Amino acid sequence: MILMAFGTRPEYIKIKPLIKEMQGKIPFRLLFTGQHVDLLSDVKDQDVVKLEIKDGANRLDSIVASVMNQGHVFDGVEAVLVQGDTTSVFAIALAAFHRRIKVIHLEAGLRTYDKENPYPEEFNRQAVSRIADIHLCPTPDAAFNLSQELVGGSVYVVGNTVLDNLTHLTPTKDNTVVITMHRRENHEKMDRWFKALDHIAKTFSHEYRFILPIHPNPNVQKHRHLLKHVEVIDPVPYEKFLEMLASCSYVITDSGGLQEETSFLGKHSIVCRKTTERPEGLGKFSALCPRPELLFEMFGNMIRTPDPVGECPYGDGKSAERIVKILLEEL
């Protein structure tokens, strides 16, 4: 029995193809840690065990404490599968380690080697790598990072499972520019990012339609009034968001994960971060923008650049199939 744990929407999105592929082949059950409290409404047609979280001043601290103290969720479990680098991932992996249960790390080996960027994800994923027994890496570069770190266990390159969700899409190109901004490292300068985005939207309003599904975090919401020329909408379901990505012209984001989807769909993106744990697509599919003051010039350069062509460096949409074959051999 494999316990597949998740606590955030991105984690569930990335294990969803694996859930489908494992049906009837490998016994599993799902554990929801509650890091994104509203997520269960999106998880349909699945039996999910929900972690009982004790109230605390810091919700992430409470999740870690609750995982460590609720050993019954690991009853009958041979291995635990965690995805990515959230605090939920670290907590589940640590609890499994203390119970001598195998840990399978999906999306292993991503690195910036800067513990503050992203925070706390860079620490979380490095810590999980020291614990994991099976490392499922999205790219050869990620696997190389683990080889340099001399981690134990088995290391495999499987591609990123998020791309398995995109294989039904046919990319087109309308006049929209999709924007997402939410990252913790950008909260203190979110006003500057939004002013830069609004300046771009005003300047290019006759050519492009700028759309931002705004993140519910108060540190983002409090600056939405600065976006006078950007169409700000409520968060949309993942399938709807994928349709937006497939049909847009360009993407501006501070999400690392969106580098994968945009590359697979053949879109240029600007990533509003100082560094990235997904360097494979830089130059061809994406570019880093470390400061808001550089965004206007970078957008101008992007729209003058031919559309990217060639294979996506993050996978081919068949990762879940590979992973199930590996798990059948390893467990």
* Percent share of the chain, pLDDT over 90: 84
pLDDT, residue 39, reads 55
CA distance 109 to 149: 10
pLDDT, residue 55, reads 64
Read off the pLDDT band of 276 (50, 70, 90): very high
pLDDT, residue 37, reads 64
pLDDT, residue 48, reads 84
Q: Give burial (CB, 10 Å; 0-12/13-18/19+) of 131.
A: buried
**Higher local confidence (pLDDT), 55 or 166:** 166
Q: Does position 135 have pLDDT exceeding 80, yes or no?
A: yes
Q: Closest Cα to residue 69, out of 58, 57, 61? A: 61
pLDDT, residue 41, reads 59
CA distance 63 to 58: 9
Structure tokens at 269: 């993106």
Give me the phi and psi of 293, to 5 degrees please.
-65, -15
pLDDT, residue 54, reads 67
Give me the phi and psi of 271, to 5 degrees please.
-105, 115
Secondary structure of 255-296 as H, E, C letters = CCCHHHHHHHCCCEEEECCCCCCCHHHECCCEEECCCHHHHH
pLDDT, residue 204, reads 98
Read off the pLDDT band of 229 (50, 70, 90): very high
pLDDT, residue 211, reads 98
Residues 6+ apart with CB under 8 A from 212: 178, 179, 180, 181, 197, 227, 230, 231, 232, 233
- CB–CB of 288/274 below 8 Å? yes
Residue 241: strand, helix, or coil: helix
- CA angle (67 as vertex; 93, 63 as ends), nearest 5: 105
Indicate the average pLDDT of the chain: 93
Q: Does position 147 have pLDDT exceeding 90, yes or no?
A: yes
Work out the angle between the directed axes of helices 121-131 and 140-149 (0-180°, nearest 10): 70
Q: pTM here?
A: 0.93
pLDDT, residue 61, reads 73
Domains of the chain: 2-160+315-330 (3.40.50.2000), 176-303 (3.40.50.2000)
CA distance 32 to 7: 5
Q: Does position 230 have pLDDT exceeding 70, yes or no?
A: yes
Stretch among 29-43, 109-123, 282-296 having the lowest mean pLDDT: 29-43
- CA angle (237 as vertex; 63, 315 as ends), nearest 5: 80
Q: Does position 45 have pLDDT exceeding 60, yes or no?
A: no
**Higher local confidence (pLDDT), 32 or 297:** 297
206: number of Cβ within 10 Å: 6
